[in-house]
Amino acid sequence: MKQVRSLFIGMMIGVMLTSACARFGGSGATATPAPTVVPTAAPSPTPPVAVPVSPVLGLPSGTDGLPWWNDAVFYEIFVRSFYDSNGDGVGDFNGITAKLDYLNDGNPATTADLGVTGLWLMPIFPSPSYHGYDVTDYFDVNPDYGTLADFRHLLAEAHKRGIRIILDLVLNHTSDQHPWFIQAEDTASPYRDFYIWSDADPGYRGPWGQKVWHRTGWGYYYGIFSDRMPDLNYNNPEVTAQMDEVVKFWLTDMGADGFRLDAAKHLIEERALQAHTQSTHQWYKQFRPYYKGLNPQALTVGELFGDSPTILASYTSGDQLDLAFEFGIANAFLAAAQAQIATDLNGTLQDSYGRLLPGQFATFLTNHDQNRAISLLSGSADKAAVAASLLLTSPGVPFIYYGEEIGMLGQKPDEDLRRPMQWSADAQAGFTTGSPWRTPDSNYALANVAAQFADPASLLSHYRALIALRSEHAALRVGSLNLVHANNPGLFADLRLSAGEAVLVLVNLTSDPIADYALTLDQSALAPGAYAAASLMGSGPFAGLTVVDGGGFKDYQPAESLPAYGTIVIQLQK
């Protein structure tokens, strides 16, 4: 059933650092004034108030005692680029609503939809930039995207189909055009202390060598990303009180299901220490009971780029954030698919799985700040399919960047990573009837939804099949990770075990069939005995397996040969 439904790594890190320094730019929406709030002197934060929360129709709270998000597959959408409903060249909320049945039609009996059960919307707030990461009003939506009523309609229609929606929330900074900052330039303004000021330049630079202190006629202000994105001062309790109101508005008044927290590690600086400070961790420890009090099922997922599993665990051990994006695993998925070698991937997966709470990390291939997956994979649809198999059969909560499922290309600059979704070979890729905000990529005539929709060999069909398989089999969603030695570096193999299911995953990373392999596992939670091998994906029949005491097996070869770039998923039945 549906769940209602090492060269390479260095290159990707360089791409992300470049993006972090260049987030601003472009012209965008007209700013809507924020609600006027006159701060008082260091008030005590308002205690969180618990409110009843109705579960989304048809979605369970979670399999095997894990949270609901471990049963989900998320899809990241840049609203401006997904689908334009009114011909103005800009994607909008109504455009997403019109395409919900492509994402998930809510009917478990159908198989034509992609089957995702969560959406992450990149910033939807008013902003002077095209991307929205510099907010001018946290209590409204970008008029280019529609109205609050349009957003409510999108949310209601998504929930009908069992799709939850999380919003990109930029807590770290605002736009320099936010009314708070405009007023803060007055040294006597009550908003002055909403930001971080110094009479003289403190002299230090940012984590990637960038300028972080910016001069005005009223002193220097701190902005880690740019002078157009001044950082908020969370040492001022009134800033926290204001952002609590923002969170309350979107969770309770509007009904969103959680947040992706941008630049999560940079929230509170301790002078030249500008990431992972104890003050940042303490703030999240206070934030968690607040947002869980509003909605116990609300999800937070943090952007913690380039950090080790140990650092991720310091945020996701149960008292701060729910999830963090695991960039190391994403890099390893793509590196394995490109190099056609599983060795480094095995080590990365094992390290993360051993240090993080079970499944409490977010996996992906690329996102809006990175060159697109297929562009990093030499344009190969076969390698893209392999990467998808690794992503969607592995532990964690998978996130798919829009267009990844049809092989959209995209390389820096950032605008070209965020081009319009390619729906068809029609003019402007079927994205708009008008003039698009950004010209679609030239490959849209071949790489589009309509061309791949009914082709069982297409990348889109592969994604649909993988998502359906994950939705139908608990072992793939919440099962433990047991890496299997394959005796061949071109073959990735693991055993996923849930409370009631055992699934063996084999992915041939290479362009040739593999016949020289033997699968060995020292130990696992599998009960000893004989198992039949039922095919879930890939052509069988497959040989049965004998498990010895301790849950291990040796020299297992379920098939004489594994097809080039093939994905084999076998259910072991006792």
Q: CA 243 to CA 231: how far, in whole Å?
A: 13
Domain boundary assignment for the chain: 7-180+230-474, 479-573
> pLDDT tens across 71-96, in order?
999 999 999 999 999 999 999 999 99
**For a pLDDT cut of 90, what percent of the chain falls above it?**
88
The position carrying tokens 């909320």 is 93
Confidence tier at 23 by pLDDT (50, 70, 90):
very low
84 phi, psi to nearest 5 deg: -95, 115
| Residue 262 annotated as catalytic | yes
CA dihedral for 112, 116, 120, 125, sign (positive or negative):
positive
551's tokens: 């849950």
Confidence tier at 218 by pLDDT (50, 70, 90):
confident
Q: Does the predicted model carry a pTM greater than 0.85?
A: yes
CATH number for the domain whose boundaries are 479-573: 2.60.40.1180
Q: Which residues contact 327 (CB under 8 A, 6 or more apart)?
A: 16, 304, 305, 306, 307
The position carrying tokens 């994105």 is 229
C-beta of residue 157 within 8 angstroms of C-beta of residue 165: no
Q: Coil, helix or strand for 75? A: strand
Q: 452-461 contacts: CB < 8 A, separation 24 or more?
A: 452/406, 453/112, 458/406, 459/381, 459/384, 459/385, 459/388, 459/405, 459/406, 459/407, 460/114, 460/405, 460/406
Q: CA 253 to CA 251: how far, in whole Å?
A: 6
Q: What is the DSSP code (8-state) at residue 69?
A: G
Instruction: Supply the Cα-derived Rg of the chain in whole angstroms.
Output: 24
Catalytic residue among 303, 322, 369, 405: 303
Q: How far is CA 45 from CA 49, 137, 235, 251, 493, in A?
A: 12, 21, 12, 18, 51
> pLDDT tens across 267-314, in order?
999 999 999 999 999 999 999 999 999 999 999 999 999 899 999 999
Give, for 378, the enclosing helix (H) or strand (E): none
Q: CA 108 to CA 468: how far, in whole Å?
A: 10
pLDDT, mean of residues 14-35: 34
Q: Does position 464 have pLDDT exceeding 70, yes or no?
A: yes
Catalytic residue among 137, 231, 262, 307: 262
C-beta of residue 119 within 8 angstroms of C-beta of residue 166: yes
CATH superfamily, with its number, for domain 7-180+230-474: Glycosidases (3.20.20.80)
Q: How far is CA 356 from CA 226, 325, 349, 360, 572, in A?
A: 33, 12, 11, 7, 27
> pLDDT tens across 123-149, in order?
999 999 999 999 999 999 999 999 999
Question: In one letter, which amino acid is 44?
Answer: S
240's tokens: 């926290």
**Is 7-180+230-474's fold the same as 479-573's?**
no
